[in-house]
Amino acid sequence: MWARHSRSLLRAVSPRKARSSRSLNGQAQIPHTTYFNPPPKPPRRVWRSLLLGTTLVAAGAYTHAWLFDLPLLPEDFLGEGLGEDAAEDELMEAMNNPVVGKEMLFALTNKIAAESVLPVDLPTAEVFLNEMAGCAFSPRAVAHICQLPSNLPCEDKVASSLFAVGPDPLASWPTWSILDGHAGPRTANFLDRHLSDAVAAELVNRNCLGRPSTPNDPSVFEAIKAAFLWLDDQLITVAQQPPFSACSWTEKIAALAPAQSGSCALMAVFDPATSLLRVANVGDSRAVLGRWDAQAGKYVALPMSHDHTGFNPGEVERLNREHPGENPIDPKTGRVHGIAVSRAFGDGRWKWSQKFTEYIHSHFWGLSPRPEGMIQTPPYLTAEPEIIEQQVQYGEHSDFLIMASDGLWDVMSSEDAVVCVEEWLKKFKPSDPMDRMIKSWTSVEQSGRPEMEEDFPDFAAAHSDDLDTYYDEDEKVLKWRVSPKHFVVENENCGAHMIKNALGGRRRELFRGLMTLQPPHSRSVRDDISVQVIFFGDFERAAMDPQYRKAMQWEPDAPSSKRPVPRLLP
């Protein structure tokens, strides 16, 4: 792993985006650790996501500020007359100075990225990918996380949580989520703040966390469904609530924003006491379980979700049943009155009446209504999740779960994704990042400095000149094929490994080209890609290591039984 990854230990920084707020035992809400912000000093007992990650690094980061989802600042923030060489020098100094204000760092990277598109070389691309990666640890599972934006800002969110069950931290329920937004990031941001809290509250209120879990437990299923539907209702009905009429005009515009954009949601909940894994899905993100087939001598793919689009026969039947005679799905595109998914949070234009959407549009700059006569019997979309359950199997070849937004599945099949992880397991162990963090943190305590390592892959050792691309006449874009013959195993983080192979693998020129593309043009080629690969096993020794707990300031506590209070209205 590249040397500068260890520098984050000096800044107490954890990975990029697995964040949500919590209110535990009456304590104030504390933001989850993020990729680039130092974690806040925790109160006496606070649980948080267990994440290992890194800060921005110097080597070429200025060429792709957008990759890091950085806010755009006014160009005059830098002052007049700052040339490119001076900007590079200041950026390099900022990267190596843990005290420098992040505003200057963000402004420098955005200024240079906006002025030119520079070709990305392989070491720089490697740094980009690794800097977007992190891990979330619990005693019975470890998640390898990576995200590569294409939109500016990124519309995806990645979340990881831990529901404590009693005083035993080994009994805590870890959760993982992929929140794939569309028409902007606002709905995904809303879910990032509130979805995990809502699910935790429903599980507590139905006593699901305080008793032994059973297979296909209706209480658990209903708790998750109730949380999803309740939270979507908070979005969609905000404008019908009495406080809305008392708000100022600008407050109304702000309150409506998360309801007008939309988001898919994929959430996995794991009970380590019974090894029961439940995956709840709304939309077209996907979860796939990798399970060892002893007879075949390889891992096979077990679906843990179904894509909610107009190409899903079950969704076609449901929508035709709920809206007889309307035929809301275009069979050629699979779209529901123009939208690519049949289930989602937000997306008020498919849930409100046409009259109300026109009112929002004409009074508060709302999004344009659907064509006249299209919206007859809303809602056409629902946030009710489909839930699939499996009992995780452990052993020499333990199960693993791949969760990803459709940006990955647009180019990689479920079966090839499982092969990709299996190849990774032949070289790396899921606990490698944690072991490295413990080692580095020990070095920090002993010498005041992390142990520095320099280890770029030998890019020439695995190289293919066969780009294996083709031009898609329907979508009018150059595409590329993804198959195991192109896979390469170089990244310690399995999430980064998945994204690299989805974008070319050993086809180095293809990978460089895709990493060089910048928004908005990049969005016509690929979507935001967010990946979590969860490995199940016994990680108690590492997760409970005093050095690790000290580094992550981790101490679990019981989730609140109170539903979160979304701050949509003042």
408 neighbors 531 (Cβ within 8 angstroms): yes
* pLDDT at residue number 414: 98
* Residue 143: Cβ within 10 Å count: 29
Residue 318 is encoded by which pair of tokens? 């449901």
* pLDDT at residue number 325: 95
Residue type, 552: M
528 neighbors 150 (Cβ within 8 angstroms): yes
223 neighbors 203 (Cβ within 8 angstroms): yes
Residue of 305, 43, 9 lying closest to 176 (CA atoms): 305
Residue 440 is encoded by which pair of tokens? 């580095």
Hey, what CATH class is 3-308+381-552 in? alpha beta
* pLDDT at residue number 363: 92
In order of 31, 124, 189, the CA distances from 58 in angstroms are: 27, 10, 28
91 torsion bin: left (phi>0), alpha (psi -120 to 50), beta (else): alpha
* pLDDT at residue number 408: 98
* pLDDT at residue number 212: 81
* pLDDT at residue number 11: 25
> The tokens 């998750």 sit on which residue?
224
CA dist 189 and 391 (Å) reads 31
* pLDDT at residue number 111: 59
CA dist 125 and 60 (Å) reads 9
224 neighbors 340 (Cβ within 8 angstroms): no
Per-residue pLDDT of the chain (570 residues; tens, 9 = 90+): 222 232 222 222 233 333 333 332 233 332 333 222 233 332 222 222 223 222 222 222 222 333 333 333 333 333 333 344 554 555 555 555 544 444 454 455 555 555 667 788 898 889 889 888 998 888 899 999 999 999 988 999 999 998 888 777 788 899 999 999 999 999 999 999 999 999 999 999 999 987 888 999 999 999 999 999 999 999 999 877 866 888 899 988 998 999 999 999 999 999 999 999 999 999 999 999 999 999 999 999 999 999 999 999 999 999 999 999 999 999 999 999 999 999 999 999 999 999 999 999 999 999 999 999 999 999 999 999 999 999 999 999 999 999 999 999 999 999 999 999 999 999 999 988 877 777 766 666 666 666 655 566 766 667 778 899 999 998 899 999 999 999 999 999 999 999 999 999 999 999 999 999 988 889 999 999 999 999 999 877 666 666 555 555 444 445 666 666 665 654
* pLDDT at residue number 381: 98
* pLDDT at residue number 444: 64
In order of 138, 232, 253, 307, 407, the CA distances from 286 in angstroms are: 22, 20, 33, 7, 10
